[in-house]
Amino acid sequence: MTGTGVTVAVFDTGIAAGHREFQRKYNTKGAVSAAYKFDTAVWQAVPNAVGQDTFGHGTHVAGLIAGATTGVAPDATLIDAAVMPNGRCQLSDLLLALEWAATTPAIQILNLSVGIAGYEPGLEEVCDRLEAFGVLAVVAVGNAGRNRTGSPGNYRSVLSVGASSRQNRIPAFSGSGELMVDHHLYGVPDVVAPGVGVFSCVPGAVDTYEPWDGTSMATPIVTGLAALHLQRDPGIRLADLKEKLIEDAVDIPTEEDARQGFGVVRFV
């Protein structure tokens, strides 16, 4: 499984598509099939020049999804949704981008490493609707540590991702928390993935790599796994796909469930 036939939208700062990780021997367009920026004044996704990332974050994230050597799903197709062109955006930009992704048939998975600190109930309705449109949102829980989470990474309708280390520990920065919503108590993250010293590509020279820490780095690893599952079973329901990723996760015996969710993801 390499993610062939699966399209992922990367909601981030852009992707430096010229990096060698995104070049493809048999596809002159490379791994990044299209790029968009978002104009709330006309409420439209506007085609953007492929290959721009002014911040670096999006390129690192995209490399972990579909980089030729760094990616979990190296043959997945990426759409660069540059919702935070300079590392930040307004809530309205994010809303437009989510709506665009929900109504774009090619997109099957969203990778979201963005958030508002704390629990914002309003956006949960939006993410519930995103699920109704058949899109899996894989979202970073945040880097604020224990008992601190961000929205939408703390919603029930998304797959919430925290970080683990090479030593099978949960790093102090990885967010986690228990929330009571609509009389339901639940915890986030759902799962964890490697998020400490994770090597991936960064903008600059075509062969530049850096190790970064963060739940933003763990999230694309889970997104890549979801792409592998979708390639293997294109008819899988969204709820079953989430359940599969959760069920296959491996518990870290030395860590509390509250910090790791169901454990470290793996592909079975």
Partner 1 sequence: MELNPAQSGKVNAALRGVLASTTPNQQVRAVLVVRPSGQTVPDPPPLDPADFLDRVAFREAVIAQQKQLTETRLGPLFRTLAQFGLHPRGGELGAVVVEGPAQQLLAALNLEEVIRGMADAQVEPPSPRRQ
Q: Check if 12 is active-site.
A: yes
Instruction: Compute the Cα dihedral for 143, 79, 239, 230 and give only its sign.
Output: negative
Please give the radius of gyration of the chain, using alpha carbons only, rounded to the nearest integer.
17
Nearer to partner 1 by C-beta: 125 or 251? Answer: 125
Active-site entry in 19, 57, 60, 229: 57
Q: State the pairing for strand pair 184-188/177-181.
A: antiparallel
Kindly list the distances between the CA atom of residue 97 and the CA atoms of 121, 207, 228, 234, in Å, as whole numbers in the listed order: 19, 30, 24, 24
**Contact window for partner 1 (CB under 8 A) among 27-35, 137-145, 178-186, 249-257:** 137-145
**Contact window for partner 1 (CB under 8 A) among 26-34, 72-80, 123-131, 181-189:** 123-131
Of residues 46 through 75, those in contact with partner 1 by CB under 8 A are: 57, 60
CB of 263 closer than 8 Å to CB of 251: yes
Q: Check if 151 is active-site.
A: no
Minimum distance of partner 1 from residue 263's CB (angstroms): 21
Minimum distance of partner 1 from residue 243's CB (angstroms): 15
H/E run at residue 38: strand 32-39
Instruction: Give the long-range contacts of residues 119-125, CB within 8 A, separation 24 or more.
Output: 119/149, 119/151, 119/154, 119/179, 119/181, 120/151, 121/181, 123/91, 123/151, 123/152, 123/155, 124/151, 124/152, 124/155, 124/156, 124/157, 124/181
Of residues 221 through 250, those in contact with partner 1 by CB under 8 A are: 230, 234-237
Of residues 8 through 27, those in contact with partner 1 by CB under 8 A are: 12-13
Residue type, 8: V
Of residues 154 through 173, those in contact with partner 1 by CB under 8 A are: 173
Residue of 20, 213, 250, 258 interacting with partner 1 (CB under 8 A): 213
Q: Check if 92 is active-site.
A: no
Catalytic residue positions, numbered: 12, 57, 216
Q: Which residues bind partner 1 (CB under 8 A)?
A: 5-6, 12-13, 40, 43, 57, 60, 84, 87-96, 98-99, 102-103, 105-108, 113-116, 120-123, 125-126, 128-130, 132-135, 140, 142-144, 150, 173, 175, 197, 210-217, 230, 234-237
